[in-house]
Structure formats: C-alpha cells, structure tokens
Amino acid sequence: MVFGFGKPKHQEIKAEELDAMLRDNKAVVVDVREADEYAAGHIPGAINMPLSTFQPSKLPDAGGKKLILNCLGGKRSGMALDKCGVAQAVVDTHLSGGFNAWLAARLPVER
C-alpha cells in the first residue's frame, strides 16, 4: 500500500454478532476509548487500551479467541487497526459503529 492512497481493509462485526461471540466465549474486546469514556460505560468484559497510548505489542493474549477492537463510533478502532497492520499484529476486526451501535442494539453495558 502506498501511504495516502487506498484504504486498508478492516473486518467489521455487527453488535449482535459480537454479543453472540461473547456469549459463546469466542471473543475478547479491546476498547480503545480513553479511560473516562470507558468508565462511563463499556461492553462487559472489555479491556481498556486507550488509542492515545495504544501499542499492538501490548494486546492481550486472546487464548484462541478473536480479538475485536471497539471505540465510540468506529474511527479510533480503525486507527488502532492501522497500527496493528503496520506492526503485523494478528488483529483485523472492529465493531461496526462502535459502542454507539452496541447501545443502539440495547446490549448490556458495564460501568
């Protein structure tokens, strides 16, 4: 990819699909919002790794589960995925529409 041209392909997952994966114990969520946003409400079990200090090398071992990134609307998780791609980390999926989509689907929230 030439920098500035084209857009890297990120896999997206819908809130309902992610909820099913979490219930089946098949996913680990990494929330890249800042700590205050995370504290105000997040997907149950999500691990907070704010984009401002995000390092792909610090991603948790998902133990065979799929790592899914999320933020508020999808932009920051996409930026974190770009960092993962550059670092050749094996995470390529984020929540389509972010935490807003999770809320819109009326799924559980941890505070």
Would you place residue 8 in the very low, low, confident or very high pLDDT band (cuts 50, 70, 90)?
low
Residue 40 confidence (pLDDT) above 80: yes
What's the pTM?
0.91
pLDDT tens-digit map of 53-98? 999 999 999 999 999 999 999 999 999 999 999 998 889 999 999 9
Nearest of 50, 88, 86 to residue 69 by alpha carbon: 50
- Split into its structural domains, the chain has a count of 1
Residue 4 covered by a domain: no
Which tokens sit at 90?
A: 């094996």
Distance between CA 2 and CA 7 in Å, rounded?
Answer: 10
Note down the domain range covering 94. Answer: 11-58+67-104
Residue 40 lies in a domain: yes
pLDDT score of 20 more than 70 = yes
Alpha-carbon distance values, 49 to 24, 56, 91 (Å): 23, 10, 14
Q: For residue 111, tell me if it sits in a domain.
A: no
Going by pLDDT thresholds of 50, 70 and 90, the confidence category of residue 2 is very low
- Let me know if residue 84 belongs to a domain: yes
37 lies in a domain?
Answer: yes
Per-residue pLDDT for 4 more than 60? no
Q: What is the CATH classification number for the domain harbouring 100?
A: 3.40.250.10
Confidence of residue 29 (pLDDT cuts 50, 70, 90): very high
